[in-house]
Amino acid sequence: MDLGSLTVAIVVGLLGALYWVLKRVNEWVYESKLGEERRSRLPPGDMGWPLIGNMWSFLRAFKSGRPDSFISSYVKRFNRTGVYKSFMFGSPTIMVTYPEGCKQVLMDDEHFIPGWPKATLKLVGRKSFVGLPHEEHKWIRKLTAAPINGHDALCVYLKFIEEIVVSSLEKLSNAGEIEFLTELRRLTFRIIMHIFMSTASEAIMEELERVYTNLNYGMRAMAINLPGFVYHRALKARRRLVEILQSVVDERRAGKRRNGASKGKDMMDALLEIKDENGRSLTDEEVIDVLIMYLNAGHESSGHITMWTTVLLQEHPEFLEKAKAEQEEIVRNRPPGQKGLTLKEVRQMDYLSKVIDETLRLVNISFVVFREATSDVNVNGYLIPKGWKVQVWFRNVHMDSEVHSEPKEFNPSRWEGPPPKAGTFIPFGGGSRLCPGNDLAKLEIGIFMHYFLLGYKLTRVNPKCPLRYLPHPRPIDNCLARITKVTPQAK
């Protein structure tokens, strides 16, 4: 071997050794603390590079348009164990990707607490649902349940939602090319803001929507707080959002001191006036963080799912006709003199409900949630160590061919028959921390689809448009399309 070949061989060997060492730094740092016996019970996996862990491969998979390749790479390398060790968002993490394990983690409040990354908590707020301990979460959830998902509240919201949907569809049908997703996000934002702050000015509404959009884009970004990065813009948006909401809170509190409790209460009034059995009221920080959390739960999900439900039905005429026929039947059975929908009619939309569930399964608006183990826990025969983060991968459950046949196919008929086995369909999470705005979101989607199916058609400009998957799956053109009125056919 000549000198040049020897030099190359030495360099290659050194690089190989360096690669081997770097790939094991996280394991040495975090696993060595467990002791040999506990370490031997960890699930298989890969903890990536120092500091960044597996974040590059996670972001590469989602930004390349192949989000399922991230988990599938673990399955290929470590077999189908359903539980894998990793290093995500700055912490040693166990990823749970099979139904029974997801159900176990979601339902067990004794051994698992919220474990969202610190960077995410800075955006949504430490007093939001995702950051609260169990007892405090239970109290605020009970407080906000009736004003958001209660029967009386939904009946009241229905009429406002109906009015804004009817007027919006009329305007959009005369607007030419539109970004359908953008318009739906505006629509759902107006709905949720009416519920929260019914007297807010148009200027405040518009700025809140703009600022919240920037905050939301940072939810799944790498936590790099430097100018030019998404997370940096999101933190600035958070600060501005708090400023705006604080000004509204101050104005409301001043009004209550002058005039007493208001008669017609919106969500903010309810939050400002509520007291527990010991007379404790919510602080300004708690009020603001709860409102920001509901913005995500009651705005982002419903806007995106409404878009995808519409798009998927247009792409599958056989399902579109069945959904439309159901809405026509509801109108035909309506008593003489009734104008508009009732909550009872919305709950009779059995087939449309299957369509929405299938959209939730296929699209996976929330693909993962975060927990933290409060003690050593056994899941599928493997150890989740105390203090380690846990990721519950909804997306993997919904897109697993061994759980749902032909998972990439849109097929509402899969929901006919008995309800799904626990843990196999978890678009809103589960247990005590089930998404608090799910009923309101489904009401918004149902009302929009009712009027769309009865009188409108969507024609996309770029039907093969590529998708972005972070923070939520969406076409990169925000579903550029035309909405046209459809003349009802004579029966």
Specify binding-site residues.
435
Give the separation between CA 258 and CA 404, rounded to whole angstroms: 58
Helix, strand, coil abundance in the chain, percent, nearest 5 = 55, 10, 35
Residues of each annotated binding site for heme: 435
CB atoms within 10 A of CB 263: 7
Which of 65, 66, 69, 32 lies closest to 47 in space, CA to CA?
Answer: 32
Are residues 335 and 341 in contact, defined by beta-carbon separation less than 8 angstroms? no
> Who contacts 390 (Cβ-Cβ below 8 Å, separation ≥6)?
93, 94, 95, 96, 105, 112, 115, 370, 371, 372, 373, 384
SS3 at position 229: coil
Contact 359, 305 (CB under 8 A): yes
How far, in Å, CA of 356 to CA of 282, rounded?
A: 35
- The tokens for 131 are 């950051």
Q: Residue 268 in 3-state DSSP?
A: helix
User: HEC states along 123-156?
Assistant: HHCCCCHHHCCHHHHHHHHHHHHHHHHCHHHHHH
DSSP label at residue 415: G
